[in-house]
Structure 1
Amino acid sequence: MKKSIPIYLLFFLLIIQTSLTAQKGEIWGNIYSGSEDSSLVRNVEVQLLVYLGHNLVDDSSYVKKTNSRGKYRLTNLPVDSSLIYYPRVTFNDIVYYGNGVRISLHQLKQQSDLVVFDNTSDKKDIFVPMEHLFLSHENNVLTLKEIFLINNRGKKTYMGQKTEDENVHYVLEFPLPAGYENLKILTPDAKNSSTVKNGTLYDTALFSPGSKQYSYQFQIPYKGNEYQYTRQIIYPTGGVNVFIENPQLTIQGPGVKPMGDFNIKGKTYQHYSLKHLMPGMQLELTLTNLPGKTIGFNFDIKWIVLLVVVGFLIVGFGYTFLKK
């Protein structure tokens, strides 16, 4: 009898393993229209992307259309907590993703809803509640860092304007000043969706309702002790904060108001503010007291010295000639 115990135990474990292996997972959810007050979207295809870490391992095995109530349900999914499932929907030629979910023995069913939108090329709902502009300088070069908080206050995905490439749109635009150098995109997600054409920086990522941040920096060489920064306002802007690192610099411009010192991460900046800028206006900032090389003064001194030397030579030769 004692010898049969291991056999029963082995048989019991085999039954458990078979039962676990037979279990399958399920992902379900609803597709809502964000443009029509969260009404459910029928008969749209939902596709599961399966990731192992950062690697896409399957993008075609699990596909299902929503039913008449806007619900999808994908079953018979592998139970493996190392896999992440992302539902994807293409709606009006734009791809939308739901939240990634994992299936485990403790949670065989998961829900992931998606919200889709209609499209528009009208930028009337694009608004910049706040912009931050940081100015610093070194070796006759200004470094300007622009940080924009941008809202799409509408109920449609903003597509901007089409380009020569049908699959690319100029969505958000940011004019660059003449003479800019060393442009760097600071927003990680925007590095692959940014391009420059005819002196304007474009973000080509389609902009669904909500908010996003876009930031970049560039440099401008300057001469003398003054520089004027001018840029056209493209979107209605609630306010612009200007932060200057050098306490010796001064800044002037239409609507610019000094706000005192401001501390950011242990650094003290001069803080200036502008309010309520509208499309078509110009952001005009004049920086003075820049520690530039006084090129004009050096130029004049050299010529003065040269003229004095030449004058002495002429007088000397003239005197010698007359004496003869």
Structure 2
Amino acid sequence: MKKKFGNAARVAGRARESQEDGDANMKYPMTRAFVILIAGLTACGALSAPPKAETLRGQVKNGTPKGKPVSNLAVQLQTLDLDGKIAKVGETTTDARGKFSFRVAGDDKRYHKAIVPFGGAQYESSPVFAGHGHKLEPVTVMVFETASDATKISVDMHHVIIEPLTDEKGNKDADTWSVKEIIAMNNAGDRAYVGKEKDATGKSRTIRFSLPPGYEKVQPEEGLMECCTVITEMAMYDTMPMNPGQKVYVFSYQLPAQKLKDGWRRRVDYPTGQAMVVAKGDDIALSCPQLGPQKTTDLGQGTMTFVKGESLKAGTELAVKIKSADLGNPGGPLLIGTIVGLTLIFGLIAFAMRSKAKQHRTPAAGRTTASELPQPSRNDLLDRIADLDDQFEASNIEEAEYRKQRDHLKSQLERR
């Protein structure tokens, strides 16, 4: 610190010496004030050097064997602050080998990601930090050719949670029920899948999610955006291409209790490895010929009743009979608790964390317990923040809940 203040101290000393001359204080009043200001700002660190600029290097790769060249592709760099606001946007093009680079500031309060449009879809790199001890690793953006062959599309797991709708205080609405579906899908091909059928606007109806009769208020959540979904009387469609690998979709809707008197009915859209319908409570009875006998378990959230089946063919009609009018106890976060329990059992949390970064590969199947879940890295947390921002921008999450979850993720990020 002494060396840092050397020049300022010497200048300040000369100013004091000049004050001994009767005219100096009047002749150089601004010089004296400026010297004192500089010395003070230096002591406070206000003149510290700006973040050092670094070079972010990246490469676009075509994940489809014998795919088109990736030279001369447009690449956009987005720099975002921790609140998800875009602070800066840069553009460039790839060279003959698909490589690109950007100059970025070494600021750990912002992160960067590269975006590449290709074949009617948009592909992103993982978010990265620069500066303050963070090594700026090269990024890779995988792109794919497209195909309309649905034979490579299947469902690994399909979980459905049904319970009475509750308000913020936990009071049940006896006339309305809530249904949430969690679907882990797999594209086993080496091309991004797009549907053959198109809607009136020309968008491809890519992934179909059949809906039960009488549904109301469909809410796209994880893996879906309102801007890119089409809802009809019988189904909801995602119009975005599905990349090779695995992807988790989550959506919810409501059903009038009157419609559930005959049970919950749902068509199986794709070959499905495992399907489960869940209800929570102590006096629940479920039956479904297509899924097998009723079972119960306790996940620390109370008794959970479910029916489960495996190896279901596309086109199978699920018909679940519900024998109780009460699927939960008012006053607690029943739906959230049930979902958390399910995801811990079947590994959906770990699955979702790695599927975004590794969509060009298909991870090995298997179950993951809570103790085996990996601790999220900075990039994992940034992925979660980016997904949360997308949900908020698409009006898929209430602002209060969005702020709460975002603050929690930011606090974890700042501790990394």
TM-score strictly above 0.5: yes
The CA distance in 2 between the partners of 1:136 and 1:34, in whole Å, is 42
Residues 206, 239 of structure 2: 8 Å contact kept = yes
**Alignment partner of 1:113 out of 134, 140, 143:** 140
CA gap of 1:102–1:221, structure 2 versus 1, over 3 A, is closer
CA gap of 1:255–1:52, structure 2 versus 1, over 3 A, is closer
Q: Which residue pairs with 1:36 in the alignment?
A: 65
* Residue-by-residue CA offset, 1:41-81 (whole Å, 9 max, x unaligned): 33333332222342223324x413223x3322334x44444
RMSD over equivalenced CA pairs, Å: 3.6
Q: Which residue pairs with 1:165 in the alignment?
A: 201
Do residues 26 (structure 1) and 26 (structure 2) align? no
The CA distance in 1 between the partners of 2:141 and 2:267, in whole Å, is 37
Do residues 70 (structure 1) and 105 (structure 2) align? no
Distance apart, 1:210 and its partner CA: 2.1
The CA distance in 2 between the partners of 1:114 and 1:208, in whole Å, is 12
**Alignment partner of 2:295 out of 260, 264, 273:** 260
One-letter amino acid of the structure 1 residue matched with residue 155 of structure 2? V
Q: Which range is displaced more, 92-101 or 33-42?
A: 33-42
Any idea what SS the aligned residue of 1:177 has?
coil
The CA distance in 1 between the partners of 2:282 and 2:133, in whole Å, is 60
* Residue-by-residue CA offset, 1:72-104 (whole Å, 9 max, x unaligned): 2334x4444444222221222322111222332
Residues 248, 289 of structure 1: 8 Å contact kept = yes
The CA distance in 2 between the partners of 1:55 and 1:224, in whole Å, is 43
Any idea what SS the aligned residue of 2:319 has?
strand
Q: Which residue pairs with 2:88 in the alignment?
A: 58
**Alignment partner of 1:194 out of 229, 237, 252:** 229
CA gap of 1:290–1:187, structure 2 versus 1, over 3 A, is same
**Alignment partner of 2:162 out of 135, 159, 163:** 135
The CA distance in 1 between the partners of 2:141 and 2:89, in whole Å, is 17
The CA distance in 2 between the partners of 1:224 and 1:105, in whole Å, is 58
Q: What runs of 5+ residues in structure 1 fail to find an aligned partner?
A: 292-324
CA gap of 1:186–1:247, structure 2 versus 1, over 3 A, is farther
Q: Which residue pairs with 1:305 in the alignment?
A: none
Do residues 45 (structure 1) and 81 (structure 2) align? no
The CA distance in 2 between the partners of 1:142 and 1:106, in whole Å, is 50
The CA distance in 2 between the partners of 1:217 and 1:28, in whole Å, is 40
Residues 255, 275 of structure 1: 8 Å contact kept = no
Q: Which has the higher strand share?
A: 1
Distance apart, 1:226 and its partner CA: 4.4
Q: Which has the higher helix share?
A: 2
Do residues 231 (structure 1) and 266 (structure 2) align? yes
One-letter amino acid of the structure 2 residue matched with residue 194 of structure 1? T
Distance apart, 1:233 and its partner CA: 1.4
Residues 26, 110 of structure 1: 8 Å contact kept = no
Q: Which residue pairs with 1:285 in the alignment?
A: 320
The CA distance in 1 between the partners of 2:106 and 2:54, in whole Å, is 6
Any idea what SS the aligned residue of 1:124 has?
helix
CA gap of 1:139–1:81, structure 2 versus 1, over 3 A, is closer
Distance apart, 1:10 and its partner CA: 8.0
Residues 60, 70 of structure 2: 8 Å contact kept = yes
Residues 149, 193 of structure 2: 8 Å contact kept = yes
TM-score normalised by length of structure 1: 0.72
CA gap of 1:78–1:202, structure 2 versus 1, over 3 A, is same
CA gap of 1:264–1:66, structure 2 versus 1, over 3 A, is farther
Residues 49, 85 of structure 1: 8 Å contact kept = yes
**Alignment partner of 2:189 out of 143, 147, 154:** 154
Distance apart, 1:141 and its partner CA: 4.0
CA gap of 1:44–1:187, structure 2 versus 1, over 3 A, is closer
CA gap of 1:121–1:210, structure 2 versus 1, over 3 A, is same
CA gap of 1:277–1:58, structure 2 versus 1, over 3 A, is same
Percent identity reads 21
Distance apart, 1:105 and its partner CA: 6.5
CA gap of 1:26–1:255, structure 2 versus 1, over 3 A, is same
CA gap of 1:50–1:220, structure 2 versus 1, over 3 A, is closer
One-letter amino acid of the structure 1 residue matched with residue 157 of structure 2? M
Distance apart, 1:234 and its partner CA: 0.9
Distance apart, 1:170 and its partner CA: 2.3
One-letter amino acid of the structure 1 residue matched with residue 270 of structure 2? Y
Do residues 179 (structure 1) and 214 (structure 2) align? yes
Residues 154, 271 of structure 2: 8 Å contact kept = yes
The CA distance in 2 between the partners of 1:235 and 1:36, in whole Å, is 26
CA gap of 1:28–1:9, structure 2 versus 1, over 3 A, is farther
CA gap of 1:203–1:71, structure 2 versus 1, over 3 A, is same
The CA distance in 1 between the partners of 2:188 and 2:207, in whole Å, is 14
CA gap of 1:115–1:9, structure 2 versus 1, over 3 A, is farther
The CA distance in 2 between the partners of 1:170 and 1:10, in whole Å, is 74
The CA distance in 2 between the partners of 1:33 and 1:44, in whole Å, is 12
Q: What runs of 5+ residues in structure 2 fail to find an aligned partner?
A: 12-41, 165-172, 327-416
Any idea what SS the aligned residue of 2:293 has?
strand
Q: Which residue pairs with 1:308 in the alignment?
A: none
Distance apart, 1:259 and its partner CA: 4.9
* Residue-by-residue CA offset, 1:220-265 (whole Å, 9 max, x unaligned): 3345994233222111111211222244443333333225212234
